[in-house]
């Protein structure tokens, strides 16, 4: 039994999976308690668990935490949605049509290596300092990465599948919409799930300049005052929201693509 747990690609009992996950979580929480309550790290640098809970309670009581969550969710979801509805079809076409690849790949390869933070001054000049600029940061942080990932998914679709479709009498439009796009969907959903995680990591960058609300703004403001309880609260809330969106994508894949085996 113990040996089978270490075999690659081998399934393990659900109870063991949950038990190991819980044990790691408890161990990390215990380490946090030892470091903070034990005085090994000053509370100025590492707040105690109950201090973080109190900060969360205060944030819920005066509704400020809910306001920050609402603003950040608006920025994340708007930027990610705009990026995805353009990147999905463009990436699939890029991975399947050489002419599209020739037109899109050079610009995409150039842009995806640029740090998003370096573009913030230009975004402020072009868009302003409102929520639109923050949405643009999320958009740019995910868009060009998504194109390459979706193109790779499309490129891996077997050409035999396309050839068989033509042999059976399908037209080019039918091949694209009824064969190519459905064949790409499992990989597309998996990569949407991955890039949603990237979008959350850009949140603090998006709210770096001229923000007055949002979880990133809350963390940056707390950093100036060395309020580590609020900093940890913001980090935990972002992690929790990210985990929720991750589970939504997993559920969507299972419900919308039941024929696609889990990777």
Confidence of residue 263 (pLDDT cuts 50, 70, 90): very low
Q: Give the separation between CA 252 and CA 256, rounded to whole angstroms.
A: 6
Rounded to a whole number of angstroms, the CA Rg of the chain reads 23
CATH assignment, 49-256: 1.10.3720.10
| pLDDT tens by residue, 100-149 | 999 999 999 898 888 888 888 888 888 888 889 899 999 999 999 999 99
Q: Tens of pLDDT along 56-79?
A: 999 999 899 999 999 999 999 999
**Cβ neighbours of residue 3 closer than 8 Å, sequence gap 6 or more:** none
Tokens standing for 162? 């396309």
What residues contact 66, with CB distance under 8 A and at least 6 apart? Answer: 59, 60
pLDDT confidence bin for 51, thresholds 50/70/90: very high
Cβ pair 175, 160 in contact under 8 A = no
Q: What is the spatial distance between Cα 130 and Cα 111, in angstroms, rounded to a whole number?
A: 23
Given phi > 0 = left and psi -120 to 50 = alpha, else beta, which region is 79?
Answer: alpha
End-to-end CA, the chain:
24
Task: Report residue 40 as tokens.
Answer: 């090994």
Number of H helices, E strands in the chain: 12, 0
Token pair belonging to 167: 């042999």
Which contiguous run of DSSP H or E holds residue 85? helix 64-96
């Amino acid at each position: 039994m113990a040996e089978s747990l270490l075999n690659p690609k081998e399934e393990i009992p659900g109870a063991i999976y949950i038990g190991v996950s819980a044990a790691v979580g408890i161990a990390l929480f215990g380490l946090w308690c030892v470091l903070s309550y034990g005085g090994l790290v000053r509370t100025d640098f590492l707040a105690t668990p109950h201090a973080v809970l109190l900060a969360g309670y205060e944030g819920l009581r005066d509704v400020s935490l809910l306001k920050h969550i609402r603003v950040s969710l608006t920025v994340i979801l708007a930027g990610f949605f705009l990026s995805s509805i353009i990147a999905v079809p463009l990436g699939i076409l890029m991975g399947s049509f050489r002419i599209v690849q020739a037109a899109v790949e050079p610009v995409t390869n150039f842009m995806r290596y640029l740090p998003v933070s370096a573009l913030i001054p230009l975004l402020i000049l072009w868009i302003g300092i409102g929520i639109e600029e923050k949405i643009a940061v999320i958009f740019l942080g995910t868009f060009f990465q998504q194109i390459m990932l979706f193109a790779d998914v499309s490129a891996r679709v077997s050409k035999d599948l396309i050839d068989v479709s033509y042999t059976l009498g399908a037209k080019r439009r039918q091949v694209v919409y009824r064969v190519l796009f459905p064949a790409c969907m499992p990989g597309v959903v998996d990569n949407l799930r991955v890039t949603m995680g990237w979008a959350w990591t850009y949140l603090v960058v998006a709210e770096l300049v001229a923000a007055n609300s949002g979880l990133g703004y809350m963390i940056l403001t707390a950093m100036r005052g060395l309020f580590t309880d609020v900093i940890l609260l913001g980090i935990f809330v972002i992690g929790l929201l990210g985990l929720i969106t991750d589970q939504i994508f997993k559920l969507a894949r299972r419900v919308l693509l039941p024929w696609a085996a889990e990777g």
